[in-house]
Amino acid sequence: MRRLIYICLIVAIVPWIVIGIVREATDDDTTEHYFVRAIFDNASTMVAGEDVKIAGVPVGQVADMNVTEGNKAAITLRIDNEDFTPFKTDASCKIRLQGLIGERFVECEPGSASAERLPAIEEGDGKGERLLRVENTSSPVDLDLLNDVMRLPYRQRFAILLSELGTGLAGRGEELNEVIHRANPALRETDQVLAVLAKQNRVLARLARDSDQALAPLARERAKFADFIVQANRTGEASAERRGDIRRGINRLPAFLRELRLLMVDLEGLTDEGTPLLSDVRQAAPDLGRLIKAQGTLADASRESFPSLGDALERGRPALMRARPLVRDLGRLGKELAPTSVDLDELTKSLDETGFVERINDFLYYVTLSTNGFDSMGHYLRAGLIANVCSKYALEFNSSSCNSNFYNPFDDPAAAKADSLEARNAQEPKAGSGGSVAPSGTLLQGLIGAGETPEQAAQRKDSLQRLRSQARDRSGSLGGDEPMLDYLLGGEGQ
């Protein structure tokens, strides 16, 4: 019975033991989190559970703390935020003060994107974790510790430590130098900067030489250079005040550049087409220069002429106002004469094209030559005198006198009944003579007209008298003695 109880206990306990062993073997926390094993020279004030921050944002905690074989502090950092993983080979971590009560935290930089990832520990302590070497860590001395050193009796003890420290570190200068550089990141970075500068010594030498040449003119113009700095400061302040507008302008710059590209294509075509024009303008530049110079002389003369022109306008304004009715009449006359002007223009153009003026001149010239004779006595006129009853001008019709003046055959019933063009008031031509017939007869009477009646004679005299009076009198619309204009435009007595 007792043996049976032992067998049952073994059967009940063995599965739990096997399950625990398997769980312990498979419980690897490194598969669920990103762990970094950071090595520090000193982490005396750090405890597990403190924050791990990147750029001031908590991303994990301090999971564990150990001491390495080289008496260094190994702090295991658990990174919970996957956005800040993985760490790179140029990553760095520092222990900083969290608050006034002495709490600490670890501040890290994951490294640059171009660097390689931190290597994983293959075996030993921290297996599966990412190793961050001591060269990439630092633990600066806090300010409160430095202040505590200056209090009694700590400063006396510190003096004793310094005295003994010199003896203890006499043969470990290189290690002390490494500790100092790791304790102060500024010294380490300064060392890196100096190393880069040492590699670029030739460039620095050229920079010194060229800067001396560049600074010499600036030294001569230091007043202007100082004013440039002042103006640049003012410009920067004005730009800062309008930073919103500048931001919007930069946002709109790509669209503006796209539109500008099309405009530049058009401008290129314009420049190609404008090159000949500019060449001609260049050749005409001397003449344009003289013209512009003459414009200055004209402007100077205009300064004196424009005031006098204003005075003339002030004096001539009343006359122009009084001439307004005449101008309106002339305007209406111009509208009515427009068709006549067009016909007259066509007529003069036709006369000019057909040589009318030249033919008239030729006619007058040859008529003068044909009528003007010259002999030993002098000049004489080639003319013939016709002596008959029509030599004397007659106003009344008389059967015995010439009836070729103011005669209309249709007003004479007796002449209207005549069936022939029989010549009257003319002598019969002699037999065999070839002379011409005198200008008389019914045909000539029809062309010239009948004699003037007493009423027509009186009307003609009145018309002549009125024209003569209008030519002598002054026109009220004109200011001077202009008889010809009075005659054309009409006087007061019209």
d(CA 115, CA 107): 20
Which residue is it, tokens 């003069």? 348
Which residue is it, tokens 């016709």? 386
Which residue is it, tokens 């600490």? 104
**What pLDDT, on the 0 to 100 scale, is given for residue 18?**
45
**What pLDDT, on the 0 to 100 scale, is given for residue 428?**
54
pTM for the complete prediction?
0.33
Amino acid identity for residue 459 in this structure:
Q
**What pLDDT, on the 0 to 100 scale, is given for residue 388?**
66
465 in Cβ contact with 480 (< 8 Å): no
186 in Cβ contact with 176 (< 8 Å): no
**What pLDDT, on the 0 to 100 scale, is given for residue 59?**
92
132 in Cβ contact with 78 (< 8 Å): no
**What pLDDT, on the 0 to 100 scale, is given for residue 79?**
93
**What pLDDT, on the 0 to 100 scale, is given for residue 131?**
92
**What pLDDT, on the 0 to 100 scale, is given for residue 13?**
56
**What pLDDT, on the 0 to 100 scale, is given for residue 381?**
77
Amino acid identity for residue 15 in this structure:
P
Rg of the chain (C-alpha set): 65
**What pLDDT, on the 0 to 100 scale, is given for residue 75?**
92
d(CA 493, CA 375): 55
What parts of the chain have a pLDDT lower than 50? 1, 4-6, 9, 11-12, 14-16, 18-28, 30, 407, 410, 415-426, 433-448, 475, 477-480, 482, 484-494
d(CA 51, CA 64): 12
**What pLDDT, on the 0 to 100 scale, is given for residue 272?**
87
**What pLDDT, on the 0 to 100 scale, is given for residue 470?**
61
**What pLDDT, on the 0 to 100 scale, is given for residue 154?**
79
Q: Is the dihedral of CA 11, 12, 17, 20 positive or negative?
A: positive
**What pLDDT, on the 0 to 100 scale, is given for residue 62?**
94
